[in-house]
Structure 1
Amino acid sequence: MKPFAYVRATSLREAAEAYAGHQDSRYLGGGTNLVDLMKLGVETPGSLIDISRLPLDRIEELPGGALRVGATVPNSDLAAHPLVRSRYPVLSQALLAGASGQLRNIATTGGNLLQRTRCPYFQDLSKPCNKREPGSGCGARDGVHRDHAVLGQSEHCIATHPSDMAVALAALDAEIELYGGEQGTRTVPATAFHRLPGDHPERDTVIRPGEIVTSVLLPPAAPGEVSVYRKARDRASYAFALASVAVVLELDRTHRVRRVALAFGGLAHRPWRATTAEERLTGVEPTPEAVRQAVGAELDQARPLRDNAYKIPLARNLACDALGTLVQSADATPRRPRTP
């Protein structure tokens, strides 16, 4: 491993200043992804700015019912929090579907968002990869790509984003709060935080150099809202999604869809918000046929390669099953009056 400098920050400002003052800096939280990439030689930071001891480890309920989750809250704590389990079951389920118990105890909210692809061509220095080395080519396109993207990919990259949590956050319309030192603070919708590869697959997110993820803001859950996360993988645990889906659903009193949010994981370079399917379902009765047609219209955009076309029917069946389950659950959920 390449030698590196180490700075333990005691404040956000100190962390941002240390990042700017050291060459090739990286922020260190739980380190469950970054340290692995350093061992492989994929990441070679000149300095690590340790932010794990900053006061960002709280889950705070806000006026109106929103929830602010600090960036260093462990994944296990977030999944087990009573308010998350009761109001946002899709998020708790997504977290528990990821990694192992030991890793969830260390991995952080911010780190989960910023983890990099598990594409084997990205992790192998002997293989071409535009994400690791821009301009070197994409070895996966004509190589082994069974696990790779079928939506939103480009000629330069077909990698998928590995996070389960990020898929749930996209469906929940969460927001990511960032601190940038002299740049100030800003908030980015979870649906816009991760990028599609385009001509610059090396850029995973819209985060600016030196910015720190400080928290995730979850909006208030609507009365009668139900949600679920479903994941298909090669083995029952400790495996990344071949396809996954996060669904949030609210029905009105006439059994029509008042609001639906649907996001896919394992299909694209970022969590894929299924806006076409949502538009087709909003305002209609969610019969099995209506659901199947709406999800099918979304997945008509898919462009599979030689070995990953199976992901399309897999994702369709996951989404239809999840929506069908939620329709039954919403019918059985007492509806409180909506706040004016």
Structure 2
Amino acid sequence: MKKRILVAPLNWGIGHATRCIPIINGLLDEGFDPIIASDGEALQLLKKEFKDLIFVELPSYNIRYSKTKSAFKWLLFLQLPKIRKAINREHKLVRKIIHDYAIEGIISDNRLGVYSSKVPSVFTTHQLTVLSGNTTKFSTFLHTCYIKKFNECWVPDFEGEPNLSGKLSHNFKSKELTIKYIGALSRLKKTETKPKNRFMVLLSGPEPQRSILEERLLDELKVLPGLIIFVRGKIEVEQVIVNQPPFAIYNFMEAEELQKHINNSDIIISRSGYTTIMDLAKLGKQAFFIPTPGQFEQEYLAKYLEKSKIAPYCEQDDFSLSQLNKSVNYSGFKSFENEIDFKQLFSLF
């Protein structure tokens, strides 16, 4: 009987779920039987990608997000007791899942309660340092306390220079964690094609900020010539396409279609989420980033990539068409070719 490995991405936007896709495919290729556990849009997306696998629903963290940048962090901190209860609930449920499905290993992408002392457990994150302004030491300490419960911590980035995450996952010292840099994760593949479209918009992330940016971009970009592929990042039962010149508006795309359209576009306008960054680096694209207001991680990554002269960015409230002119002064991502040794990685199980 194939060893069953529980794969559990956090439902915070869809990035954690999409970067689990190459891990799930790796498990299948190496003869394992992945069982997928999550909630919300993350679970819906993986059900569309892997129709023949077993899925389990985990408790939602039910996090509320602020409409304003200044209140974002403090609203999250006020919800810490609720988040801790959700973590305890999912940890309790994991014990039952291990028993019911004969689980022999766990890979958790940022789900803090999905671990077990009975089977090898892995935590996947690109944030060893959890930026939160003047409370960064505290948030990093809390995060590390949870990661210590896992056997290994896999960082989807390169250990040396150059790398994609900067200080988020480098210059971090801990004798208590077993850290492995596994290389960048992306479900997409680069194709040699001449781009047909100038711009493509990729939206993602929590509400209400996702919708606020959607309205801003639809209004600002409507005067541009040519076709603009606009992906709203809303995972729903059926794909819906609305032709609203100059836009072709999709609620979501599955991997193959997304790969085709990104390869066929010159510049990608998106949040500076880490999974998106890994995808664009894999495809060697130019990008313009608009970090989610109040998300220190995305704001840092946008600044880090601008300082590296890879891609420009602006704050959401400052976006206008003229901002896009900055792209000519940046190199864009150089596509990377890294082969992850899944056989060696999964030897833990």
Same fold, TM-score > 0.5, yes or no:
no
TM-score, scaled relative to structure 2: 0.23
TM-score, scaled relative to structure 1: 0.24
